[in-house]
Chain A
Amino acid sequence: MRDVLTEIWESIRRNKLRTCLTGFAVSWGIFMLIVLLGAGNGLMNAFMRGGEDIATNTMQVGGGRTSKPYDGLKEGRRIWLDERDVQLTGSEVFADHIDQVISSVSTNATVSYGKKHFSGSIEGNFPARQQMDKIEILYGRFLNDKDIKDSRKVVVLPEDRAETLLGNEVRDSGARFPGVAPSVRSGKQVNVQDMLGKYVRIGDFSYRVVGIAKANEETNSNTVYAPYTTIRTIYGKGQEIDDITFTFHGLDSEAENEAFEEQFRATMNVRHRAAPDDRRALWIWNRFTQNLQMNRGRNLLSTALWVIGLLTLLGGIVGVSNIMLITVKERTHEFGIRKAIGASPWGIMKLILAESVTITAFFGYVGMLLGMLACMVLDKTVGQSSVSIMDEQIAMFVNPTVGLDVALEATLVLIIAGSLAGLFPARKASRVRPIEALRAE
């Protein structure tokens, strides 16, 4: 091994400039690959943030508008979900897959506390909603079964709404980022915990605040949660409901999900006198397939970035291959001598392959380190900023770095690339005939 390294060093030492120029192309290729993957990761991390907070085995169903005439009724008819749909969903018909079914009703109302108030959606909901939407409670609790049973007048306020009621009108960008105490953020000393146990006025009634939920853009942070039974009774919703949400199991592939959705849709549509295959009569939001699609998108992006990065690297590889070919040509006589005194073809091939891999790996590593450095710089600059879109603070990059796995993969790529670059020149070298040695220079 040491002998081979010595040989490589001797060869490279004689062609420093040429080796460095070629090596630069390899460094650049790997640098681009790492930076691209890092930036891609940052973009995907920003995009996926919050998405992870939702339980993936749930489907949400809502009423739509028919798009086909059916059973003597014209298209364009509104479909309203009601209690019987909930019963049907939870019935024996779908018992193979559906576990828990909940529904919600909502109304728009003004919530006031002292002189402060805001208007928003009040959602009558069930305790199970917390699990399904992964609602994080900062203080107090979420709705419980007793709230439902007794139709208690209690509410769970989102963090920022609670702040509004406490008088903090200023919503700075920090509000979206967890881990920063509210009191530190604003000029006024506001602690949302103070709202616990207080009574807020919604419509004609007073509701006790039992919990403060964490603000989360993915799961309707502006929604005020109240017991389902309370809202239905007070706002006279009757049988009508806004949506049905249920958890399911045993649907592992996209095809299975599709088949199930088809069956579910047909059953429900018929109940509402809509065509069984009318995809607009009811909308179904399957978080599982959505998640699958998002993962697929992520993989696609990552694959695309790898392809671009590898193509950039290809330029460097071709350069190395070219340089090795020149080296082989220059050293033809030497290889002839080596063969005449007993070098086997593999002995010569090894020399060129090792040199190629060494050049590629060394300059590749330089590029990789620089790329990771660039990712870190990206993380410290762009990664910390956010863009304001429609009053929502959205981070463009979250943690735009690559992991150890990518570093290992890139190492593997470098070794393979180096071998590939050296393969053709090495074969050429190994085929040098020993008679070359007899040819006078």
Chain B
Amino acid sequence: MLIELKNVNKTYNNGQPLHVLKGINLGIDKGEFVSIMGASGSGKSTLLNILGILDNYDMGEYYIDGRLIKGLTERQAADYRNHMIGFIFQSFNLIGFKTAVENVELPLFYQGVPRAKRHQMAMEYLDRLGLADWAKHYPNEMSGGQKQRVAIARALITNPKIILADEPTGALDSKTSEEVMQLLGKLNREEGVTIIVVTHESGVANCTDKIVHIKDGIIGQIEDNREHRASVFGTSTIMK
């Protein structure tokens, strides 16, 4: 198991205590392409925060590659995020005053990789995603699909154990959404990258091989979706 969650609980204590995650048990193997689906308020965002080491949890255990992720200092957490997790966000979250290549370089900067080396690596990744010509452009000069591809390059550059995608198509039109999902699928199939997509769109979930349903803070059904037939709207499109 690459990822293992054992009875993970999380309660928010903002005035009224809110028990969001009520004992999550989940295992994800290396090379899986999984989606976590749930309505808003189901606890999927909280689960994503915990999976991405952006937040801590109260009870239970969370292992990445056999390493217990619990009670980390901010520095350790930052280090783990940097080395083990690649994020893809709904709103791309590229830094506006940095060019595409500089954005892709950033995780390596925090790893202390020398300037020339990280520039060369960033160019390689941009090239793989077909964006070599856009390296010197700023995010506001690019389309949504291009921006998300830059973000994917940034997530991949540290060669992380997991790619965590939070509503990766949320800000894209259906055509671009499909392209992005296909790209993620291709990365998973061809390079064996472990990808976890958090979404509330069934069409997006349908692109993945396994769908984990979460409802009211507990894991419900885990669907095997290797046939990609889960979507009620058909198998080949993402409905918007």
A interface residues, Cβ below 8 angstroms from B: 2-3, 10-11, 14, 333-334, 337-347, 433-435, 437-438, 440-441
Contacts and interface: CB of A to CB of B under 8 A. Distances in A.
Given A334-B95, A347-B110, A341 B82 contact: yes
B109 A435 contact: no
- Taking residues whose C-beta sits less than 8 angstroms from the other chain, chain B's interface range is 20 to 34
Q: Describe A's contact surface by its main secondary structure.
A: helix
B111 interface: yes
A392 B181 CA distance: 94
Given A3-B109, A341-B154, A346 B75 contact: yes
B128 to A, nearest CB: 19
Contact of A344 (B78, B83, B106): B78
B111 A435 contact: no
A438 B166 contact: yes
Nearest to A10: B97
Nearest to B157: A341
Interface string B149-192: 00000100010000000100011000000000000000000000
Contacts, number: 76
A343 B110 contact: yes
B133 interface: no
Interface of B: 45, 48-49, 52, 54-55, 74-75, 77-79, 81-83, 87, 89-91, 93, 95-98, 106-107, 109-111, 115, 154, 158, 166, 170-171
A6 to B, nearest CB: 9
Contacts of B158: 342
A260 to B, nearest CB: 64
A224 to B, nearest CB: 81
B143 to A, nearest CB: 17
Contacts of A2: 115
Contact of A435 (B54, B96, B98): B54
A345 B78 contact: yes
A162 to B, nearest CB: 77
A344 B45 contact: no
Contact of A340 (B75, B81, B115): B81
8 contacts: A337-B95, A339-B78, A340-B81, A341-B107, A341-B110, A343-B110, A345-B78, A438-B90
B15 to A, nearest CB: 19
A342 B82 contact: yes
Contact of B74 (A334, A341, A344, A440): A344
Contacts of A340: 52, 54, 81, 87, 93
Most chain A CB inside 10 Å of its own CB: which residue of B83, B89, B90, B96: B89
Contacts of A344: 74-75, 78-79, 110
Nearest to B96: A334
Contacts of B45: 438
Given A10-B97, A341-B107, A438 B79 contact: no
Contact of A437 (B74, B77, B89): B89
Given A337-B95, A437-B93, A441-B91, A342 B107 contact: yes
B54 A434 contact: yes
Contacts of A338: 95, 106, 110
B115 A341 contact: no
Nearest to A339: B78
A385 B83 CA distance: 71
B83 to A, nearest CB: 7
Contacts of B90: 438, 440
Contacts of B82: 341-342
A339 B55 CA distance: 12
Contact of A343 (B55, B78, B154): B78
A150 to B, nearest CB: 89
The 8 closest A-B pairs by CB, nearest first: A342-B82, A342-B110, A344-B78, A337-B93, A434-B54, A344-B75, A341-B107, A440-B91
B83 A342 contact: yes
A409 B171 CA distance: 54
B5 to A, nearest CB: 19
A341 B89 contact: no
Given A435-B54, A438-B89, 15 more contacts: A338-B95, A339-B78, A339-B81, A340-B87, A341-B87, A342-B110, A344-B78, A344-B110, A345-B75, A346-B75, A433-B54, A434-B54, A434-B78, A438-B48, A440-B171
Given A10-B97, A438-B166, A3 B115 contact: yes
A278 B154 CA distance: 90
A345 B158 CA distance: 20
A344 B166 CA distance: 22
B150 to A, nearest CB: 13
A274 B138 CA distance: 94
